Structure 1
Amino acid sequence: MEAQLRAVEWLNAASVESSVFQLRPDYRALLVLAEGLAPGGSDGASDQLLADAERKIAQELDGRRPEELDELAAWREAYRSFGAKPQRTRPSVEALVRRVDGGLPRIDRITDTYNAISVTHLLPLGGEDVDNYVGPAQLVRATGEEEFEVVAEERPAIEYPKVGEVVWKDDAGVTCRRWNWRQSTRTRIGESTVRALFILDGLLDVTAEPDLVAAGEELQAALARFSPEAQFSSRLLAP
């Protein structure tokens, strides 16, 4: 009970800056906090989830380009609203959809699971290692001074977002740039991750709140199949 209370308190401290809602009043973020996960390499179950997602999106595309799907077109517009060029830095779900023909990546069973849900529901979905967070998750428009930890030329490096860029951050720096484009190496999920935050990004123009919540529930059910001791808490962030 005490651990669950702490999880709820941490989720309750998460926030979306009003300036982000000014860009997209229809934006919603569903946060899912999972504790007690059982990390591991890709396995038969996670491979099946990805294979099912590949088949579903191939049928949905039916010869069309990814950007012709309403859900992906809406996210392209969201990127343009803060000056990003989505043809160069693509929303995460579009980047995944574009890899379907060659096969979605198999990384580890936590990452595979949330990537499969992202593609199946055509919405951006990221996962972060909560134990590497400093303070709560915050979606803001960057000042340009926030540090973003990456690997460049096989060495740790620091980059900085552009002023006004929409970024997820904590008290130590940026955790994901351009809304959902690229995650920081500091908080990315790894082979030792047992506590994770999953962020499901929705635009009401193309994804209704009940559908966003349903995707979150599907994610929790899929994670629980290989982590039967896991506990989940969730929160929907809206204006």
Structure 2
Amino acid sequence: MTERRRLQEFLDAARVDTAVSALRPDYRALLIAVDGLVPGPGDAGSEALLRRAEAVAGTWLAERQVTDLPQVASWREAYQGFGAKPNRTRNSLEALLRRTPSGLPRVNRLTDIYNAVSVLHRIPLGGEDLTRYQGSAALIRATGNEIFDTASNGETVIEHPEPGEVVWSDDAGVTCRRWNWRQGRRTQLTDSTTSALFILDALAPLTDEALITAADDLCGHLKRLGPEISIVRRLITADTSGAPGTSSAHGLPSENGRS
């Protein structure tokens, strides 16, 4: 099986549960599966991107609070919809924007790129190690029995989501709690990651056009991270709710990203 075929099959099996679509019919998930990445520390390209994101965010926040940005306000409302307290558990976009005055984190060039793209396009964006998935990705409302592996004081801790909480998961458990609040350790990106899944979470007022522009920007930066990068994308919306083969119907045909 070719890597591109493997990536496509993974995305075809991904789904958004109808209970999530019922909670927010405006929700869209754009999934990007990538293989052929060459791991490495931050470089001049990722540093320049982070600095641009910090500068752009600074202009937005010079005249308003983070919570006044429409994209942030929409996610705070979504969190309240499943019982989360947005002042205590902030969506990933808000968390990053709040860090821009003192500087975004510098982790490695793969993580730094997607964090910068998240800020620049004002969209929650997560990255995971695709090789650590068991089965495909699913966005569900938790029963409360699912396993989530995290850390506290340097020690591994097993938690469980709240019943009804919106979580990303695979066959082994939760990969990200509260939609895009905290990622688990099992699938986290590392300095040795060569195959990754990126999830772009979109709510109104972010348009489909803006969502695709953010994905294009991310893919453009990823293509420079290896001589043979393969990229496959899929958009899941409320009306498709996880049905395979919907990419082309939504203007996102699978692409061979080899350069």
Cα distance in 2 for residues equivalent to 1:95 and 1:63: 18
Cα distance in 2 for residues equivalent to 1:134 and 1:151: 20
Deviation at 1:158, TM superposition (A): 0.3
Cα distance in 2 for residues equivalent to 1:10 and 1:234: 10
TM-score (norm 2): 0.90
Question: Percent of counterpart pairs with the same letter?
Answer: 51
Cα distance in 1 for residues equivalent to 2:158 and 2:234: 31
Cα distance in 2 for residues equivalent to 1:228 and 1:95: 33
Matched, 1:7 2:20: no
Cα distance in 1 for residues equivalent to 2:231 and 2:97: 27
**Residue of structure 1 in register with 2:245 after alignment:** none
**Residue of structure 2 in register with 1:96 after alignment:** 96
**Residue of structure 1 in register with 2:210 after alignment:** 211
Query: Are the equivalent residues in 1 in contact too, given 2:90–2:181 (CA < 8 A)?
Result: yes
Deviation at 1:6, TM superposition (A): 1.7
The one-character-per-residue Cα deviations of 1:25-55 (angstroms, maximum 9, x if unpaired) are 0000000001001111111111110000111
Deviation at 1:202, TM superposition (A): 0.4
**Residue of structure 2 in register with 1:229 after alignment:** 228
5+ long unaligned stretches in structure 2 = 239-259
Alignment of 1:24-35 (within 5 A): 24-35=24-35
Cα distance in 1 for residues equivalent to 2:67 and 2:227: 37
Cα distance in 2 for residues equivalent to 1:176 and 1:12: 20
Matched, 1:77 2:77: yes
**Residue of structure 2 in register with 1:136 after alignment:** 136
Alignment of 1:89-128 (within 5 A): 89-128=89-128
**Residue of structure 2 in register with 1:43 after alignment:** 43
How many pairs align? 238
Q: Which residue identity is paired with 2:61? A: L
Deviation at 1:163, TM superposition (A): 0.2
Deviation at 1:195, TM superposition (A): 0.3
The one-character-per-residue Cα deviations of 1:190-226 (angstroms, maximum 9, x if unpaired) are 01100000000001x2111111011111101011123
Secondary structure of the 1:90 match is coil
* Cα-Cα RMSD: 0.9
Secondary structure of the 1:128 match is strand
Cα distance in 2 for residues equivalent to 1:2 and 1:24: 36
Secondary structure of the 1:225 match is coil
Cα distance in 2 for residues equivalent to 1:123 and 1:171: 26
Cα distance in 1 for residues equivalent to 2:102 and 2:228: 34
5+ long unaligned stretches in structure 1 = none
Secondary structure of the 2:224 match is helix
**Residue of structure 2 in register with 1:174 after alignment:** 174
The one-character-per-residue Cα deviations of 1:132-166 (angstroms, maximum 9, x if unpaired) are 10000000000000000011121111000000000
